[in-house]
Amino acid sequence: MKLLMIDTSTIVATAAVVDENRLIAETIVNYKKKHSEKMLPAIDHLFQDSGMKLSDMDAFGVVNGPGSFTGLRIGMATAKGFAQALEKPIVTVSTLESLAYNACVYPHYICPVIDAQRGQVYTALYRFEGNTTNSILTSYLSEGVYGIDTLIEEIKAKNEKEEPVLFLGDGLKKHGRQLSEISPKIQLMPAYFAMNRASSAAAAGYQKLSKGETVNYFQAGLNYLRKSSAEEQMEKKQGKIDG
Amino acid sequence: MKILSIESSCDETAVAVIEDGRHILANQVYTQIAIHRKYGGVVPEIASRNHVMKMPFVVQDALDEAHLDFQDIDAIAVTKGPGLVGALLVGVSEAKALAYALDKPLIGVNHIEGHIAANYLAFPELEPPFLALVVSGGHTNLVIVKDYGLNVILGRTRDDAAGEAFDKVARVLGYPYPGGPAIDKAAQTGDEHAVEFPRAMLEDGSYDFSFSGLKSAVLNEINHNKMKGIDFRKEDIAASFQAAVLDVLTDKTVRCAEENHVKKIVLAGGVSANKGLRKRMSQVGKKHGWQLYYPPLSLCTDNAAMIGARAYYDYQLGRTSDWHLNAMPGLELPGVVK
CB contact under 8 A, B94 and A69: no
Whether B55 and A80 lie within 8 Å, measured CB to CB: yes
How does DSSP classify residue B204? T
**From the CA of A205, how many Å to the nearest CA of chain B?**
20
Q: Which residue of chain A comes nearest to B60, CA vs CA?
A: A84
When comparing pLDDT for A32 and A94, which is higher? A94
- Residues B212-254: pLDDT tens digits? 999 999 999 999 999 999 999 999 999 999 999 999 999 999 9
Query: Is the pLDDT reported for residue A2 higher than 70?
Result: yes
- Which of A34, A77, A229 is opposite residue B97, by nearest beta carbon? A77
| Test the B interface: residue of A7, A55, A72, A80 with most B CBs within 10 Å | A80
Nearest to B326 among A36, A43, A224 (CB): A36
Q: Is B166 a residue whose pLDDT tops 70?
A: yes
Identify the band that residue B287 occupies on the pLDDT scale cut at 50, 70 and 90: very high
Calculate mean pLDDT across residues B201-216: 91
Q: Which of A70, A231, A236 to mutate to test the interface with B (most CBs of B within 10 A)?
A: A70
Q: How far apart are CA A107 and CA B51, in angstroms?
A: 41
Quote the pLDDT of residue B129: 98
The span from the CA of B309 to the CA of B25, in Å, is 11
**What does the mean pLDDT of chain A come to?**
95
Question: Would you call A224 and B49 a contact, using CB atoms and an 8 Å cutoff?
Answer: yes
**Chain B contact for A221, CB < 8 A?**
yes
Interchain CB contacts (distance < 8 Å): A and B: 102
Name the residue of chain B whose CA is nearest to A220's CA. Answer: B53
Confidence of residue B200 (pLDDT cuts 50, 70, 90): confident
Q: How much is the pLDDT for B305?
A: 98
Residue A31 is predicted with a pLDDT of 86
Q: What are the Cα distances from residue B268, in Å, to A14, A45, A209, B117?
A: 42, 41, 49, 8
| pLDDT at position A42 | 96
Within 13 Å, how many C-alpha atoms sit on residue A210's CB side? 10
Share of chain B above pLDDT 70, in %: 100
Checking if the pLDDT of B161 tops 90, the result is no
Q: Given pLDDT bands bounded at 50, 70 and 90, which one contains residue A241?
A: low
Cα B264 to Cα B246: distance, rounded to the nearest angstrom: 19
Q: Pairing relation of β-strands A109-115 and A120-131?
A: antiparallel
Nearest-CB residue to B101 (from A86, A224, A231): A86
Torsion of CA B247, B251, B257, B263, to 10 degrees: 50
Taking the CA of residue A228 and the nearest CA in chain B, the distance in Å comes to: 6
* Helix residue ranges, H only, chain A: 35-50, 69-86, 95-100, 148-158, 172-180, 191-194, 198-210, 229-242
CA dist B319 and B129 (Å) reads 20
Q: Helix, strand, coil: what percent of chain B each, to 5?
A: 45, 20, 35
Side-by-side strand order, sheet with B130-135? B291-293, B264-268, B130-135, B140-147, B150-156, B336-337
**Predicted confidence band of residue A49 (pLDDT cuts 50, 70, 90):** very high
| Nearest residue of chain A to residue B41 (CA atoms) | A230
- Tell me which chain B residues have a C-beta less than 8 angstroms from the C-beta of A44: 100, 323
Global model pTM greater than 0.90 = yes
B46·A231 Cβ contact <8 A: yes
* Sequence-separated (6 or more) residues with CB below 8 Å from residue B317: B148, B149
pLDDT digit string (tens) for A182-195? Answer: 999 999 999 999 99
Number of H helices and number of E strands within chain B? 11, 11
What CATH number does the domain located at B127-297 have? 3.30.420.40
- B89, B97, B98 ranked by CB distance to A70: nearest: B89
Mean of pLDDT over chain B: 96
The domains spanning A3-94+196-226 and A96-194 adopt the same CATH topology: yes
Q: What pLDDT, on a 0 to 100 scale, did the predictor assign at position A132?
A: 67
Interface of A with B in 47-106 (CB under 8 A): 54-55, 69-70, 73-74, 76-82, 84-86
Residue B93: the pLDDT is 98
Specify the pLDDT at position B176.
87
What's residue B138's pLDDT? Answer: 84
Give the Cα separation of A112 and A92 in Å (integer). 18
Calculate how close chain B gets to A83, using CA atoms only, in Å: 9
Residue ranges of chain B that CATH labels 3.30.420.40: 2-116+300-337, 127-297
Fold for the domain defined by A96-194: Nucleotidyltransferase; domain 5 (3.30.420)
**Contact assignment for B49 to A55 by CB distance below 8 Å:** no
d(CA B132, CA B147): 12
Chain segment A161-219, per-residue pLDDT in tens: 999 999 999 999 999 999 999 999 999 999 999 999 999 999 999 999 999 999 999 99
Rounded CA gap, A23 and B221, in Å?
68
Contact check, Cβ <8 Å, B86/A40: no
| Domain B2-116+300-337 falls under CATH 3.40.228.10 | no
**What is the CA angle A34-A40-A44, rounded to 5?**
140
pLDDT at B35: 93
Q: State the nearest Cα–Cα gap between B24 and chain A, in angstroms.
A: 22
> In whole angstroms, what is the distance from residue B10 CA to residue B2 CA?
25
Name the helix (H) or strand (E) containing A22. Answer: strand A22-29
**Where in chain A are the domains?**
3-94+196-226, 96-194
- ipTM, two decimals, is 0.96
- Chain B residue numbers touching A43 (CB-CB < 8 A): 100
How many Å apart are CA B18 and CA B24, to the nearest integer? 5
B199, with CB counted inside 10 A (0-12, 13-18, 19+), is middle
Using a CB-CB cut-off of 8 Å, the residues of chain A touching B43 are 228, 230-231
Pairwise CA distance, residues B178 & B34, whole Å: 10
Query: Measured in Å, how far apart are chain A's first and last C-alpha atoms?
Result: 55
> CA-CA distance, B268 to A220, in Å (whole number)?
37
Tell me which CATH homologous superfamily contains domain A3-94+196-226: ATPase, nucleotide binding domain (3.30.420.40)
Q: Which of A70, A76, A68, A57 is nearest to A16 (CA)?
A: A57
The pLDDT confidence band at residue B40, using thresholds 50, 70 and 90, is confident
Answer whether A222 sits within 8 Å of B92, measured CB to CB: no
pLDDT at A215: 98
Residue % of chain A over a pLDDT of 70: 98
What pLDDT is stored for residue B12 in this prediction?
A: 96
